[in-house]
Amino acid sequence: MSDEWGQQGDAIVAAPSAGPTAGALLRQARESAGLHIAALAVALKVPVRKLEALEDDRYDLMTDSVFVRGLAASVCRTLKIDPQPVLERLPQRTAPRLVRDDDGINTPFRAPGDGPPAKWTAHLTRPVYIAVVALLLGALALVLFPASIHDDWLKDAVKVEAPAPVFIPAPADPAPVSGPVAVPAPAPAAVAPAVAIAPAAAPEAAPAAAPAPAPAPAPAPAPAPAPASSSVAASSPPVATGLLVIRATGPSWVEITDAKGESPVRRMLAAGESAVANGPLPIHVIVGRSDLTEVSVRGKPFDIKPYARADNLARFDVK
């Protein structure tokens, strides 16, 4: 939206910086009323981040100056304070300034079809024309390619003979030798009778080894020491009981309103702190941080995630 203001010539004049800013005045008034910013956002039906930006004087995060002034006036009306001091410290919007342009009306206009026709060579660079030319060249090459050359090449490929296989006879298997082998002893003059060399007698078999003794069983592991008795266990904190119990796991704003319109709980709960309500039904509950809050109704857990918005603000009723 700031870009649109710049194009239209709008200007934003900041308020004088003397004294507290508009956001500081709004924050001071809200804290004096004891109202959490999440509860104020629920009452005004605006996101929490918009109120935070207003209190931090971050007007660049807003839609425009009209929205900023309207939101500030709504906050003042809800907090029941005078809006005039706050509105005086908000940025002021001046009237748009028109810029004179004498040459703009004299700018020449030319329709797309008024230009000179494109050359035929410019069309050849387009991918469609390139693909058509490539297909035509391929078809022309197939037509002009001599069929006789193709046939001769095929015949030469068929005439190539495979080399004749060469059969190599396998060597004859030697006859198995059984029993002792006779080795002739060399003799210088006469041929000595062959001496049969009997195989050496096998050495006497070693006596069978005695069986190894069985390993002794491993001792059973000692039992783990029993846990300490419940008498020495750390005592748990007392659990709050009631019709409605809200326990905070982190800092969270909680507001409880019963059927009579009374608010027994309307404050910030610290981590580990609980709030109990037993008022007349129905009970309306507002939780600032649903992700840091646990709720139980009549002793049973109650899931508040379905009631939470994107900013973790949840509202629900107990009936």
Going by pLDDT thresholds of 50, 70 and 90, the confidence category of residue 60 is confident
pLDDT > 70? residue 85: yes
309 compared with 143, residue with greater pLDDT? 309
Range of the domain at 33: 22-89
Choosing from 89, 107, 127, the residue where a domain stops is 89
- The helix-helix angle for 65-79 and 22-32 (nearest 10°) equals 20
Taking the C-alpha atoms of residue 105 and residue 266, their distance in angstroms, rounded to an integer, is 65
Q: Determine how many CB atoms are found less than 10 A away from the CB of residue 35.
A: 17
Please check whether residue 105 lies inside any domain of the structure: no
Quote the pLDDT of residue 188.
Answer: 44
Choosing from 34, 58, 89, the residue where a domain stops is 89
pLDDT > 90? residue 10: no
Taking the C-alpha atoms of residue 139 and residue 145, their distance in angstroms, rounded to an integer, is 10
183's tokens: 């080795």
**Phi first, then psi: what are they for 72, rounded to 5°?**
-65, -40
Q: Cβ distance 21 to 89 under 8 Å? A: yes
Please check whether residue 111 lies inside any domain of the structure: no
Please tell me the pTM assigned to this model: 0.29
Q: To which residue do tokens 């809050």 refer?
A: 293
Choosing from 38, 71, 89, the residue where a domain stops is 89
Q: Give how many domains the chain has, as a whole number.
A: 2
pLDDT digits (tens, 9 = 90+) for 169-185: 555 555 454 444 444 44
pLDDT digits (tens, 9 = 90+) for 123-141: 667 788 888 889 999 888 8
